[in-house]
Amino acid sequence: MPRHRSHFTATGLSQLLNDTGFEVVAIEHRLLEHNPFGMWQSGLNRLSREPSWLYNVLKRNARFSARELALTALAVPLIPLAAATELVAGQARRGGTIAVLARLRGAGEKAG
């Protein structure tokens, strides 16, 4: 795993939260702010000499590269395909990100 020490499943996150006193309220597998770009970047990484070059340029962690810029520009038309692929993956609960909303068990209940 090049960027993450752990990869969680929805079941694993739910169990972890439950075991630590939380109640899962909602789980979402479709996150427009992360997943379409991540899918597109993952495809681009297969062709690139510098994985996640655009991401790193945007974060100011990479040097300018004419080759990587050209490759990135050529891949722009694939963004709709990446977004559609990620939408299907999210619907199948296999998206690139899992967002879990949880609350402390018993929070919000009236004392009585």
Q: Render each residue's pLDDT in the chain as its tens digit; 112 residues.
A: 466 778 888 999 999 999 999 999 999 888 877 788 888 988 898 888 888 898 888 889 889 999 999 999 999 999 999 889 988 988 888 888 888 999 998 876 665 5
Task: State the sign of the Cα–Cα–Cα–Cα dihedral 92, 3, 49, 55.
Answer: positive
DSSP sequence for 75-100: HGGGHHHHHHHHHHHHHTT--S--EE
What does the pLDDT read at residue 112? Answer: 52
What does the pLDDT read at residue 106? Answer: 82
Question: Hey, which residues does 22 pair with through a beta bridge?
Answer: 104
Contact (Cβ atoms closer than 8 angstroms) between residue 30 and residue 90:
yes
What does the pLDDT read at residue 1? Answer: 46
DSSP sequence for 21-66: TEEEEEEE---TTTHHHHHHHHHHHTT-SSTTHHHHHHTT-S---H
For tokens 């990479």, what's the residue? 62
Give the integer Cα–Cα distance in Å for 17 and 50. 37
